[in-house]
Amino acid sequence: MIRVCITISLFALAACGADGDPIRPSVSNTVTIGSDGIRTSTGVTVQTGPVTVGARF
């Protein structure tokens, strides 16, 4: 039974879509200086084809 589980796991890992080049994220940093102090923010964007996903911290 353990052999069957390992075999199915390996097939699932191979079929997960890990083909092609890796996708590199774009990182942007912003530093703002104002009367209330210094603020920083960082954003990460990943784009593949027409789909773009981003997050700002």
Q: How far apart are CA 53 and CA 46, in angstroms?
A: 5
Structure tokens at 49: 């084809």
Nearest C-alpha neighbor of 45 from the set 27, 20, 23: 27
What ranges do the domains of the chain cover? 20-46
pLDDT in tens, 17-28: 566 677 788 999
pLDDT in tens, 1-57: 777 777 777 777 666 656 667 778 899 999 999 998 999 999 999 988 888 889 887
